[in-house]
Structure 1
Amino acid sequence: MTTDPVIIIEGDPGWLPHSIDWSNGTAQFQKFPHEQFRAPGFLFEFQPEDSADKQEIPISRLRDIRVETLPIHFVFHTAFCRSTLLSRALNMDGIAVGMSEPGIIASLVNAPAEFRPILSIVLRLLARQRTGVSAIFVKPTNHANRLIPEIMEASPDSRAIFMTCALKPFLNSVRKRGLMGHRWGRKLYLEVQQYAGLDLGMSPTENFAMSDLQAAGLAWFLYQNYFTNLASGPYHDRVRTLDAEFFDRNHAETVQRILNFCLIDSSSFSPETLENAPLFSEYSKGDGEIRIDTPGESTENEISQVQHWLEIIARQMGIRAPVQQSLA
């Protein structure tokens, strides 16, 4: 029996790249059972029980792994917009596999410049051929949105859905996560400003003085502008935008439209089966049933004020937010 990890990985499509350790130049692979793609939660959180289901190889050997591939498409998103649920809904026997936040793409966000060329290799390994499906959908973390242009260049036959939501549900999701949610919102603003920033004429003091929900709202606003520009740019024919509220009202129709846009045979797609799937009554991030959380009056007032503030900025800058749906 071979002990060469490359041969082991080649032998089973359950093996996927999981993360990269840049400090020691190795790539970690994990073996994912097929049912894991349908489960709540994210792939980066999955840990196999058997140590034999983990392999490590030098980054330099990634290109040695030979696999047949399927078409691969992407769901990019602005966070808190039901993208995890959509990824799970795209898991359909005989049609497609949906992968929610494989850790490997997050590993590439801060890749040293000399390793950027391995992006195309990683995408090929995620797209490896599987029995009984004709396409792969990957939903990366929103923290990898800076890589969208590189991903679209590295995978020229891929199509992408840009999924977003209105400001109010976004900020409500930030707020209900308490201190860590507020901290996340501020950090997200700093992150997105680095690669999709706008000159808003704000001094460092004004930036510091913003409330947490203002900062999170600005992150959302920058995302809207970023997605709008990408969707109308060089990849416009390979990109469609999707509103979370439309998906909430039209699960099966949304999936059908995505399959049509991605040129995937949907003759075996059953809208009734999808609509009755238990995943729509579960919390897709893995914490049990869907939780209903109602904000208090003071929070509602603050969110309304942030929305009014951003509407003024949008008018002054000629920016339309949120992104208008183009998936038809």
Structure 2
Amino acid sequence: MGKVSTIASDPLWLPHRYDPAQDAVHFRHTPRAAHGAATFLTDEYLGAATPRIVGRAAALAQAGPAAPLHFVLHSAFCCSTLLARAFDAPGLAMGLKEPVILNDLIGWQLRGGDGRQIAGVLDGALRLLERPFGPGEAVVIKPSNVCNAMAPLMLQFRPKSRALLLHAPLRVFLGSVARKGMDGRRWVRELLVKQLKQGLHGFGYSGEDYLQQTDLQIAAMGWLAQHALFARMAAQFGPQVRCLDSDQLLASPAAAMAALARLFDVPLDAEAIVAGPIFSRHSKFGQAFTSEDRAKERAAEAAHQEEIEKVAIWTDAVAKAAGVPLQLPQPLLG
């Protein structure tokens, strides 16, 4: 079903997985409608499919033209999926929500893979992901936040790309973790383990120190590690990146979408997008979701407010000691 040249040049064949043992890419047929229906580009949301396995070199040789490529980089629980959905705009752009092939490279890195090899494969993976879905369309990738450690390399490989560095304010992030119960608390500990292996924690804490911290302290340290990375990226890449927090986005959605469209040079109708279903439905679950629903979610965090406030004050002290600015430079708005 399909020759190598057809698969590798057709964006409807998603470069889904990478196998370092075979140096091969697993493609799965993924129509645009399937992208729109899926929360993330994982088998859980896309469903079962038989992949076509193509050698990486052969795939790259047949990849065809590249679209303008941009990124929504995020530190979780901050409306990044909503923004990726906003760039599913036929004729203008396509948003890719957490392609697993990038996670595969992180997994390879965490298993001790050779950095030079991984860098070469990353460049190739971006080359396959940036195939335009239609004439003149840009591609906007929202990687999983576990891929943030590779984000500087992505921008070095693509100097014409632009990136939004998106985060939730610390207290909002901590509330989201607390509201998710055991799943949220376990996730932040798993993230910490990966970040430690990626060298993202320069705060002077040992593994034993982290074991003595509460779940929300661990959550805050994972947030702070990403915040420090974003601050370094803003200093390194300057106008190539812009920073935004989710409260600013939700307070001024039309202004934020218009500014982001300008950053990515994609002529979206910001007012129409904000007035449409993307901003009125839950970005992950699809049901109607209003500002009142969001307020109810945050009200459910009331039982955790004392701990959230104590952890936020503690994190502010850690950030000051480490020289991490809680207000990021290069703002998207203002």
Q: Same fold (TM over 0.5)?
A: yes
Comparing 147-156 with 69-78, which one deviates more in the overlay?
Answer: 147-156
Shift of 1:95: 1.8
The equivalent residue for 1:41 is: 39
Q: 2:88 aligns with which of 74, 88, 91?
A: 91
> CA shift at 1:227, angstroms?
0.4
Match of 1:316? 321
* In structure 2, C-alpha distance between the alignment counterparts of 1:30 and 1:204, rounded to whole Å: 40
SS at match of 2:107: coil
Retained in 1: the 8 A contact 2:17–2:25? yes
Q: Give 5+ residue unaligned stretches, structure 2.
A: none
2:97 aligns to what? 100
1:195 aligns with 2:194: no
2:152 match: 149
Task: Give the number of equivalent residue pairs.
Answer: 319
Q: Any idea what SS the aligned residue of 1:117 has?
A: helix
Letter in 2 for 1:134: E
**CA 1:278–1:40 in 2, change beyond 3 Å: closer, same or farther?**
farther
Partners of 1:250 and 1:297 in 2: CA distance: 25
The equivalent of 1:284 in structure 2 is 283
Q: CA RMSD in A?
A: 2.2
Higher helix share: 2
Paired AA for residue 240 in structure 2: R
1:227 aligns with 2:230: yes
Give SS of 1:196's match. Answer: coil
Q: Report deviation, 1:304.
A: 0.4
The separation in 1 between residues aligned to 2:118 and 2:269, in whole angstroms, is: 42
Question: Residue in 2 aligned with 1:56?
Answer: 53
Cα separation, 2, equivalents of 1:50 and 1:148: 29
In structure 1, how many angstroms separate the alpha carbons of the residues matched to 2:176 and 2:136?
Answer: 34
Moved more, 213-222 or 111-120: 111-120
Name the TM-score, length of structure 1 as normaliser. Answer: 0.89
Residue type at the aligned position of 1:279: I
Q: In 2, are the aligned partners of 1:240 and 1:326 still within 8 Å (CA)?
A: yes
> Does the aligned pair in 1 maintain the 2:71–2:141 contact within 8 Å?
yes
Q: Which amino acid aligns with 1:274?
A: I
1:158-188 CA-to-partner distances (Å, cap 9, x unmatched) read: 1111101111111111112221210111222
2:312 alignment counterpart: 307
- Measured against aligned partners, the alpha-carbon deviations of 1:292-312 in whole angstroms (never above 9, x if no partner) come to 433354411000000011112
The residue that corresponds to 1:255 in the other structure is 257
Which segment is superposed worse, 7-16 or 214-223?
7-16
- Structure 1 residue matching 2:226: 3-state secondary structure: helix
Tell me, yes or no, if the aligned pair for 1:160 and 1:238 is still in contact at 8 Å: yes
Per the normalisation by structure 2, the TM-score is 0.87
Q: What is the letter of the counterpart of residue 248 of structure 2?
A: F
Show the counterpart of 1:179.
Answer: 182
Task: Output the CA distance in 2 between the equivalents of 1:237 and 1:129.
Answer: 24
Alpha-carbon displacement from aligned partner over 1:42-83 (angstroms, at most 9, x marks no partner): 0124436664xx311233433232311110001110000110
- The CA deviation at 1:313 is 1.8
State the SS of the aligned residue for 2:199.
helix
Distance 1:195 1:5 in 2: 41
Q: For residues 258-282 of structure 1, what are the alpha-carbon distances to aligned partners after superposition, in whole Å with 9 as ceiling and x for unaligned? A: 1212333x2xx33332122112222
Tell me whether 1:71 sits opposite 2:68 in the alignment.
yes
Single out whichever of 315-324 and 286-295 deviates more from structure 2.
286-295
